[in-house]
Copies of this chain bind each other. A is one copy, B any other.
Amino acid sequence: MREKLSTILYSEGVLFMKQLHHPDRKDIQLASVLYALSDPIRLYVASEIRKHGAQACNSFKVPIAKSTLTHHARTLREAGVIHTRVQGTQRILSLRTEDLDERFPGLLDSVLQAYERSEPGEGFGEPAEEQEE
């Protein structure tokens, strides 16, 4: 039988929810940023934030499990692409445009513009409407 996590962790003085770590601007690595943006779901998330502003995870209509989205959000955050702030039960994701522009001028813009050109649809991965032949 398993003890409740809170009982175990709080009783030992360990924080359950890790402090969200955001790298300092100077520690943002080019390779990590490119890696974070090399996944279709993460590209979509970054692009949605750029188009419609900061927003919570649950506003992204992606065909994956909640835990998988958490993983992608962490990848973006740890690479320095997004900032996550807690608001009630939500995590609000925003792009670190200033930090990225300062460190890698023009990069984020050219990536997201390229993405938006190549994926003109609204939702995720919609193949631009099934085309009958």
Chain A residues in the interface with B (C-beta under 8 A): 29-32, 34-35, 37-40, 43, 103-107, 109-111, 113-115, 118
Contact = CB atoms under 8 A, between A and B. Distances in A.
Q: Within the oligomer, what is the number of copies of this chain?
A: 2
Given A30-B118, A34-B38, A40-B31, A107 B110 contact: yes
Contact of A110 (B35, B37, B39, B104): B104
A111 B30 contact: yes
B115 A106 contact: no
Contacts of A30: 43, 111, 114-115, 118
Given A34-B34, A34-B38, A39-B31, A107 B114 contact: yes
A65 to B, nearest CB: 20
A111 B118 contact: no
Contacts of A37: 31, 34
A37 B110 CA distance: 14
Contacts of A32: 38
A29 B76 CA distance: 20
A30 B105 CA distance: 19
A41 to B, nearest CB: 10
26 contacts: A29-B118, A30-B43, A30-B111, A30-B114, A30-B115, A30-B118, A31-B37, A31-B39, A31-B40, A34-B35, A34-B37, A34-B38, A35-B38, A103-B114, A103-B118, A104-B114, A105-B110, A105-B114, A106-B106, A106-B109, A106-B110, A106-B113, A107-B110, A107-B111, A107-B114, A109-B110
